[in-house]
Amino acid sequence: MARSSGLTGGLSNLFDNIDPYGQKGKEQIVPLQRETLHIETILPDPGQPRQLLPTDLTIGLNNGQQAAVTVLESWLRTAARSTPAQAQAAANLRQLADTIAQHGLINPITVRPATNSDGVPAGIQYVIVTGERRWWAHVLLTLLDRTIGPNQAQPERIAATIVAEEANIRALQLIENIAREDLSAIERAQGIEALREDLSRLTGEAANWKEVEEVLGISKSYRIRILRVLRLSEPAQALIQAHNFPERTIRPITDKLLAEPELQEAVLRHLIRWQEAGEPVGADRLNRIIAKLLADKNPRQQPGKERPGVTAVVQQIHQRARTTLKSFRALPATDRQAVKLALRENDEARQALQTLRAELDRLLAD
């Protein structure tokens, strides 16, 4: 476990000290160099699974056949007619560009020197580690021929922190990306698994999930909920990613339909229609749809045709009731009085017993 705490502490400190948002001002662990770079010498990392623009639009940018402003202009024309997630991403980018135009870029982007293995076009000297949206905002300001701040600086140049030590850069990208609010549940889960793989490669040993949770600052229960989406069917995962559904929205599906792959897609289709119509999507509404689909698939048995699983449940209740009753009957009178007094002080235990009594009354009612 000593290895675990050292590793997670090192990566957490590494991310803090890299300071991708320019806010912390701590002593740097990784050699840094702060520069103002021309945006045409920078490119988003082609190997990043999550990028702002769709892959089909960035092909020309990545092979050097199209300029960034041309690609961005094409995306802005089509985003509003694309998915709601793309339309929102375009609106968010315009808002970010307006903010930078008014106040300047407060948080420099983070880049690393491009290498031959990146396969970037000639003239690209740096690849973005963190801050792709800030870079695209500068591209947008260039496209709109706007200046930045009261000094009317030109948006063709952007403040950037240059980092080395590529072995740690993948972890930095994952940590920043997983923290983004606009990630779908699928991308967040894939990022968490990818970070675990990176932690394992750094040490040559399989990283346990506690290390991952410490690096990201997430709880075990949150990590389990997120990773549960990867147990959905492939068509369901594709829909979740295409429509950028967060984990909380689809939680009723992962809670109740992991064993029903054909129903997962049906429920998601309802969710997509509600989203496109601008209708509210709450857990209650989703649960009602799930309950109806499950009832249609598994209609109630006719009277007299008891399902085998029901018999097993009754036997289990019977056994546990006998065991509990036996324990109470074995208590001396003085201990029973002590239990009664203790229950007066323990609201949670008393409420649990009251709930159990109510459930038993309902089961036994004529």
pLDDT tens digits for range 290-348 = 988 988 887 754 444 545 556 677 777 877 887 777 777 777 777 777 777 777 777 77
Does residue 7 surpass a pLDDT of 60?
no
The pLDDT of residue 352: 77
Residue of higher predicted confidence among 101 and 323: 101
Tell me if 229 sits within 8 A of 240, measured CB to CB.
yes
Per-position DSSP letters for 306-350, written without gaps between them = --HHHHHHHHHHHHHHHHHHHHHHTS-HHHHHHHHHHHHH-HHHH
Query: In degrees to the nearest 10, what's the CA dihedral of 155, 160, 166, 171?
Result: -90
User: pLDDT tens digit string along 246-298?
Assistant: 888 999 999 999 888 889 999 999 999 988 888 877 888 888 999 889 888 87
pLDDT at 184: 75
| Rounded mean pLDDT, 82-98 | 87
Between 25 and 122, the higher pLDDT residue: 122
Query: Among 32-46, 70-84, 166-180, 312-326, which stretch is predicted with the lowest mean pLDDT?
Result: 166-180
pLDDT confidence band for 26 (50 / 70 / 90): very low
Distance CA 304, CA 313 (A): 17
Cα–Cα distance for residue pair 247/225, rounded to 1 Å: 8
Question: Which has the higher per-residue pLDDT, 349 or 127?
Answer: 127
What's the start-to-end Cα distance of the chain, in Å?
Answer: 57
CB neighbours of residue 257 within 10 Å: 23
Torsion, CA 250, CA 251, CA 253, CA 256, rounded to 10: -170
If one compares 163 and 18, the residue with the highest pLDDT of the two is: 163
Find tokens 């598994």 and name the residue.
Answer: 298
**Pick from 232, 233, 223: nearest CA to 191:** 223
> Between 53 and 2, where is the model more confident?
53
What dotted CATH number matches 31-164?
3.90.1530.30
Task: Provide mean pLDDT across the span 215-222.
Answer: 81
More confident residue, 6 or 243: 243
Mean pLDDT on 167-179: 59
pLDDT of residue 285: 87
Give the chain's mean pLDDT.
78
Average pLDDT over residues 80-100: 87
On the question of pLDDT at 361 being above 70, the answer is yes
